[in-house]
Amino acid sequence: MTAVRRVLVLNGPNLGRLGSREPDVYGATTYAGLVEQCTALGRELGFEAEVRETNDEGEMIRWLHEAADGAIPVVINPGAFTHYSYGMRDAAAQRTAPLIEVHISNPHAREEFRHNSVIAAVASGTIAGFGIGSYRLALQALAGELSA
């Protein structure tokens, strides 16, 4: 029997408020619903998706270090950290497995300050604008990367 591959699905600030935070932008799915969808799809794809959320930049950086040290693939929605956290960018750059950046909304269709991502240049790829489906697409892309 082969071991199940662990994948971290990391979420930044305010994502724990899904379902109540600006549902016209982020949809009606709650954070619990996101966790359920990611873990179920992970099982279908043959890996264990461990979903985490933090409003703390330092904690997110520690999780990225954990992933780098363990060669753990990552799906990350950095939230607002996307646009300015050079510390998070430097932690993501240390990745030793695929890292896919996701966004629920399309940052380029929103306020100008959201157009820049400091994470994108060190990610395997970015998926944005498909609502909660962005996570589904990212997990499927990750499965493809891991099987290649």
85 a known binding residue? no
Q: How far apart are CA 66 and CA 28, in angstroms?
A: 31
- Enumerate the active-site residues: 26, 103
Domain spans of the chain, in order of start: 5-147
83 a known binding residue? yes
**pLDDT tens by residue, 85-139:** 999 999 999 999 999 999 998 877 676 867 789 999 999 999 999 999 999 999 9
What are the DSSP E strand ranges found in the chain?
Answer: 5-11, 47-53, 74-77, 99-103, 125-128
* DSSP secondary structure code for residue 137 in this structure: H
Q: How far apart are CA 120 and CA 33, in angstroms?
A: 26
115 a known binding residue? no
Least confident window among 21-30, 39-48, 59-68, 75-84:
21-30
Pick 5-147's CATH classification: 1.10.10.60, 1.20.120.80, 3.40.50.9100, 3.40.50.800: 3.40.50.9100
